[in-house]
Chains A and B, each alone.
Chain A
Amino acid sequence: MQCDGSDVLTVEGLANKGVLHAVQEAFYEEHGLQCGFCTPGMLVRSYRLLQENPNPTEDEIRIGISGNLCRCTGYQNIIKAVQSAARKLQESSTTAA
């Protein structure tokens, strides 16, 4: 009901024709996952967070992902992954421009 008429993006929609999105690459490179159970949520949340705030501070990231629980990583590498994804997205937007 709340989503009626909206677009819904899930983790399966992040990659583009087999090319991983920057957040997916970043989580892989920064070891931002272990059991993988929280990962779809973390990825999609990070995607949205970076749309809202393309250059977040560490504290802003912690607050930004506070609605997603993780039991394996202690969040430390997830934060590094989001910071890395932010850099990647900024680089690609500057390149595109």
Chain B
Amino acid sequence: MNAPTDSVEARELALAGMGQSRLRKEDARFIQGKGNYVDDMKLPGMLHMDIVRAPVAHARIIKINKEAALAMPGVHAVLTADDLKPLKLHWMPTLAGDVAAVLADEKVHFQMQEVAIVIADDRYIAADAVEAVEVEYEELPVVMDPFEALKPDAPVLREDLAGKDTGAHGKREHHNHIFTWEAGDKSAADAAFDAAPVKVSQHMYYPRVHPCPLETCGCVANFDPIRGELTTHITSQAPHVVRTVVSMLSGIPESKVRIVSPDIGGGFGNKVGIYPGYVCAIVASIVLGRPVKWVEDRIENISSTAFARDYHMDGELAASEDGKILGLRVNVVADHGAFDACADPTKFPAGLFHICSGSYDVPAAHASVKGVYTNKAPGGVAYRCSFRVTEAVYLIERMVDVLAQKLGMDKAEIRSKNFIKKEQFPYTSAFGFEYDSGDYQTALDKVLTAVDYKGLRAEQAAKRADPDSPTLMGIGLVTFTEVVGAGPSKMCDILGVGMFDSCEIRIHPTGSAIARMGTITQGQGHQTTYAQIIATELGIPSEVIQVEEGDTSTAPYGLGTYGSRSTPVAGAAIALAARKIHAKAKKIAAHLLEVNENDLDWEVDRFKVKGDDAKFKTMTQIAWAAYNQPPEGLEPGLEAVHYYDPPNFTFPFGIYLGVVDIDRATGETKVRRFYALDDCGTRINPMIIDGQIHGGLTEGFAVAMGQQMPFDAQGNLMGNTLMDYFLPTAVETPKWETDFTVTPSPHHPIGAKGVAESPHVGSIPTFTSAVVDAFSHLGVTHLDMPHSSYRLWKALRDNGVAL
């Protein structure tokens, strides 16, 4: 307890609340090898599951022969779609209103699709038994290109949808067409283009990539046949949604289903979806009455779990001669693979792509996205971004660069000219988003000064004038706005469940507390940052506030952690739950001090009587009283729960500038400098923010400079191991510089907007902007990702500047 003479500053420090870079509470177990990940779990009688997967991308299944596998010692079961049919579980609903096969039902739709499962005593026997399952396929012509898929004579991929000319998102125009989604005002946009003196257009492809967290997906399903209860430990970013879906699919009441997300080794969107492996493990556990563990390997993870992006985008900007944007048009062909398993809010099959007017005051805009089936794994998911925001930000930032280049304008100057100005917030975009707050110019000025932008341009000019310069120097600039914090339930739901979130806080008699939320950390530090919010709101040291997430039997219902929604939504629920407790505590304090509530002030960790510093009650003292001498009319105890339905999304923004030097002989790119300024509103723990910014920038670097998932004409995924899929090591990873401004969200209880997907969203176009800038004096307006050494070596040769 603090002595009354401790200063306000000392007491604030002791709380280690909001704004402080306090060290993390979760670290103790991770630095001592005591983390609790799914694959750490060992239960008595536990069996192991492995999956027989299709080697081909499109085929009929003629026969599956289980006998050899079943005959192997230690094999308990081999299940196929036929075994799931009586349970009606051979197909399952996706989060996007489509259906996906759990096990291939008479037909294979993508290479590595799940065809059968094997349950055995250990994972080695299971793997051997997988090899012993004989499957006879009749190959069918494959469709690997969404444009080919839409041709009239293209092979039919989804025979299960034959005759269905309406999908979850409207009319289907073709057997391989999923949906066409539009936003904005087409006639206004067309009129703006017709009248505009300057028009630019650019085709760009955002390659298919994969979030590839270090820990792959898995679960331990445990059905107790005596109690009729199902418990499943699972790598899930949304455990409550999993519980609801599992209950619906299995018929087991939700009250008897317990889903637990333990420690998760990175999510990045990969762990949002419900995969066939989970469903099969649960079915196997129910059928066999024993725990069943399934953990996929790296090849399975990259080949079959949800990919991201794969957007073919055509952007157009209309402008005045002095660079003022008058209109934006975007058309996208979206390759969703064999099933639309996109994890988007139900009403948005293209996610929040319509943030693509960006940080700019665009008067007229229209976007359309056409979803298409191909013989690839299903998806896509939001890889370290809010839904489709990476694609949207890439599109607009590339288009603004293209426009700048056409007009011979500086990239920073054209952005300043078109920024939504500070006074215009809250700002309603041409696509209908109400941006909460922003101050882009201040942030841009800060970055340009910090890097000496003028000096860099001068250096670049000198290098361009020197024919012997061994490198091409490029400067990339991106001024992005994201839309995160999904979201208001009237607009945002997952399978009908509104995207609110929740927090319950209980203070114990001796003044420490426990709090539970509907989100689930995968490394973001919630056990620390959430405790910091409560510490500041309630004057209890964050050190003694236990934060728990992920166990659906104890945590209040929430929609999980992805799309930077935790702080905007759950963080608000935390603050408001705390304020309910604060209000009750004030009543108790008034009772104890024998004054009227109006005579009390709150200061850091105590209620003080106005004008008498010696008369106060700390939250610790109030907690004891709450259990022992509650005032007349008040229940004992000191706790509250709050479910928060946000009134709006939040709109974090950032200014990123990168300097690259491309070796003219090898095409290798050195990232000389990368300056990332983020504005996420109120900053809870600067150390944790910076750490995540470093991580997001590194993932963005990987996407821009090397990640891809190419397929050959037969449908083989070329490179689904870490030999081919680019995960940077410490050697390739550049050094990052971070900065910030603070523009709070006016509608959020603590002014916070959410952070740490921004570095991924913003850095990817920055790298492209820098690489293209290195070639722009040669007339190059765009180069598609990835900007690998090989691809840039070719670009150097194509443009006559190779050494």
Residues of A within 8 A of B (CB): 10-12, 14-15, 20, 24, 27-29, 31, 33-40, 43, 61-63, 65-79
Q: How far is the CB of A9 from chain B (nearest CB, A)?
A: 11
A11 to B31, CA, bound (A): 8
Find out whether the CB atom of A11 lies under 8 angstroms from the CB atom of B33. Answer: yes
Known A-B contacts A33-B27, A79-B730; A74 and B37 likewise in contact (beta carbons under 8 Å): no
When C-beta atoms are compared, the residue in chain A nearest to B759 turns out to be A74
B214 touches A40 (CB 8 A): no
Contact B691 A34 (CB under 8 A): yes
- Chain A hits for B736, CB < 8 A: 74, 76
- Chain A residues whose C-beta falls within 8 Å of the C-beta of B522 in the assembled complex: 35
Given contacts A35-B214, A40-B33, contact A78 B730 (CB under 8 A): yes
Cβ-neighbour of B30 out of A20, A33, A62, A74 (below 8 A): A33
Q: How far is the CA of A63 from the CA of B730 in the complex (A)?
A: 7
Within the assembled complex, what's the spacing in Å between the Cα atoms of A70 and B213?
A: 9
The answer to whether B26 and A71 have CB atoms under 8 Å apart is: no
CB closest chain-B residue, reference A14: B32
**Beta-carbon contact of B27 and A73 below 8 Å:** no
Which of the 9-residue segments B172-180, B258-266, B367-375 touches chain A?
Answer: B258-266
Question: A71 and B699 in contact (CB under 8 A), knowing A28-B27, A28-B31, A34-B524?
Answer: yes
Q: Of B32, B525, B694, B696, which is within 8 A of A77 by CB? A: B694
Between A and B, 21 residue pairs with Cβ closer than 8 Å are A12-B32, A20-B31, A34-B524, A34-B695, A35-B213, A36-B27, A37-B266, A38-B214, A43-B31, A62-B729, A62-B730, A67-B729, A70-B214, A70-B695, A71-B213, A71-B695, A71-B699, A71-B727, A72-B214, A73-B695, A74-B696
Do A71 and B33 touch across chains, with their CB atoms under 8 A apart? no
- Assess the A71–B212 pair: CB atoms within 8 A: yes
Given known A-B contacts A36-B26, A76-B736, A31 and B265 have beta carbons under 8 A apart = no
Instruction: Tell me whether B268 is interfacial, beta carbon within 8 Å.
Output: yes
Contact residues in B for A73 (Cβ distance below 8 Å): 691, 694-695, 698
Task: Give CA–CA (A39, B214) in the complex, Å.
Answer: 11
Chain B, residues 665-706, CB within 8 Å of chain A (1/0): the string is 000000000000000000000011011101111110000000
CB neighbours of B214 from chain A (8 A)? 35, 37-38, 69-72
The contact size tier of chain B is: 35 or more
In the complex the two chains form, is B32's CB within 8 Å of A24's CB?
Answer: yes
B733 adjacent to chain A (CB < 8 Å) = yes
Beta-carbon contact of A37 and B730 below 8 Å: no
Say yes or no: A39-B31 contact (C-beta < 8 A), given A31-B24, A61-B730, A75-B730: yes
Hey, which chain B residues are within 8 Å of A33, CB to CB? 27, 30-31
Contact A76 B735 (CB under 8 A): yes
Q: Which of B300-339 contact A (CB under 8 A)?
A: none
Bound together, the chains give a CA A63 to CA B727 distance in angstroms of: 15
B4 within 8 A of A: no
CA distance A57 to B410 in the complex (A): 39
* Pair B733/A74 contact, Cβ less than 8 Å: yes
Residues 713 to 727 of chain B near chain A (Cβ within 8 Å):
722, 727
Among A43, A61, A70: residue with most chain B CB under 10 A: A70
CB of A83 to closest CB in B, whole Å:
13
Residue of A nearest to B687 (CB): A31
Chain B residues whose C-beta falls within 8 Å of the C-beta of A71 in the assembled complex: 212-214, 266, 268, 695, 698-699, 727
The one of A34, A61, A62, A76 that contacts B523, using a Cβ cutoff of 8 Å: A34
The smallest C-beta distance from B385 to any residue of chain A, in angstroms, reads: 15
Determine whether B215 belongs to the interface, using a CB cutoff of 8 Å to chain A: yes
Q: How far is the CA of A38 from the CA of B266 in the complex (A)?
A: 10
When distances are taken between beta carbons in the complex, the residues of chain A under 8 Å from B614 are none
Say if the beta carbon of B731 comes within 8 Å of chain A.
yes
Q: In the complex, A36 Cα to B23 Cα: how many Å?
A: 14
Render B719-759 as a binary contact track against A, CB cut-off 8 A, 1 for contact. Answer: 00010000101110101100000000000000000000000
- Once the chains are docked, how many angstroms separate the CA of A73 from the CA of B33? 18
In angstroms, Cα B524 to Cα A14, docked, is: 25
Residue in contact with B263 in the complex, picked from A27, A28, A36, CB distance below 8 Å: A36
With A71-B695, A72-B266 known as contacts, the answer to whether A11 contacts B32 (CB < 8 A) is yes
**Of B28, B212, B694, B731, the contact of A74 (CB 8 Å cutoff):** B694
**Least Cβ–Cβ distance between B111 and chain A, in angstroms:** 25
Give me the 10 closest cross-chain CB pairs, A-B, nearest first. Answer: A35-B523, A37-B265, A36-B30, A74-B694, A74-B698, A34-B523, A11-B33, A62-B730, A75-B730, A66-B729
Q: How far is the CA of A65 from the CA of B722 in the complex (A)?
A: 17
Known: A11-B32, A66-B731. A35 touches B215 (CB 8 A): yes
Question: Which A residues are in CB contact (< 8 Å) with B268?
Answer: 71
**Is B509 interfacial (CB-CB < 8 Å)?**
no
Point out the residues of chain B lying under 8 angstroms from A77, CB to CB: 691, 694
Q: Do residues A65 and B523 form an inter-chain contact, with CB atoms below 8 A? A: no
Contact B691 A37 (CB under 8 A): no
Interface residue B35 (Cβ < 8 Å from any Cβ of A): yes
A63 near B32 with CB under 8 A, answer no
**In the complex, chain A residues whose CB is within 8 Å of the CB of B727:** 69, 71
How far apart are A71's CB and chain B's nearest CB, in angstroms? 5
Closest residue to A64 on the B side, CB-wise? B730
A77 and B30 alpha carbons, distance in the complex (Å) = 16
For residue A11, which residues in chain B have a CB less than 8 angstroms away from its CB? 31-33
For B29, list chain A residues within 8 Å (CB): 36
If the complex has contacts A11-B32, A20-B31, A70-B214, are A37 and B729 also in contact, measured as CB distance less than 8 A? no
Instruction: For the complex, give the distance between the alpha carbons of A69 and B722 in Å.
Output: 10
Beta-carbon nearest neighbor of B524 in chain A: A34
Is the beta-carbon distance between B523 and A72 smaller than 8 angstroms?
yes
Chain B residues with CB below 8 A from A43, complex form:
31
Could you tell me the distance between the alpha carbons of A30 and B175 in the complex, rounded to whole angstroms? 55
Chain B residue numbers with a CB within 8 Å of A31 are 23-24, 687-688, 690-691
* B131-150 to A contact mask, C-beta < 8 Å, 1/0: 00000000000000000000
Of A24, A35, A62, A77, chain B has the most CB atoms within 10 Å of the CB of A35
- B387-436: which residues lie under 8 A (CB-CB) from chain A? none
**Contact status A29-B265, CB under 8 Å:** no
B596 to chain A, nearest CB (A): 46
Q: Report the Cα distance A36→B34, complex, angstroms.
A: 10
A97 CA to B230 CA in the complex, in Å? 59
* In the bound complex, CA of A27 to CA of B730 (Å): 16
Q: Which residues of A contact B266 (CB under 8 A)?
A: 35, 37, 71-72
| Chain B positions within 8 Å of A76 at CB level | 694, 733, 735-736
Nearest A-chain residue to B263, judged by Cβ = A36
B625-649: contact bitstring with A at CB < 8 Å (1 yes, 0 no)? 0000000000000000000000000
Q: With A66-B731, A71-B268, A75-B698 given, can you name 16 additional A-B contacts, CB distance below 8 Å? A: A20-B32, A29-B23, A31-B24, A34-B523, A34-B695, A35-B215, A35-B266, A35-B523, A36-B30, A36-B265, A37-B35, A72-B266, A73-B694, A74-B695, A74-B697, A77-B691
A90–B201 Cα distance when bound, in Å, is: 60
| Among B30, B213, B690, B691, residue most surrounded by chain A Cβ atoms (within 10 Å) | B30
Tell me whether A65 and B33 are in contact in the complex, defined as CB-CB below 8 angstroms, given that A72-B523, A74-B694, A77-B694 are known contacts.
no
What is the CB-to-nearest-CB distance from B92 to chain A, in angstroms, rounded to a whole number?
28
B675 to chain A, nearest CB (A): 14
What residues of chain A lie closer than 8 Å to B215, measured between beta carbons? 35, 37
Alpha-carbon distance between A9 and B268 when the two chains are bound, in angstroms: 31
- Nearest chain-A residue to B268 (Cβ)? A71
Contact residue among A20, A24, A66, A72 (Cβ-Cβ distance under 8 Å from B730): A66
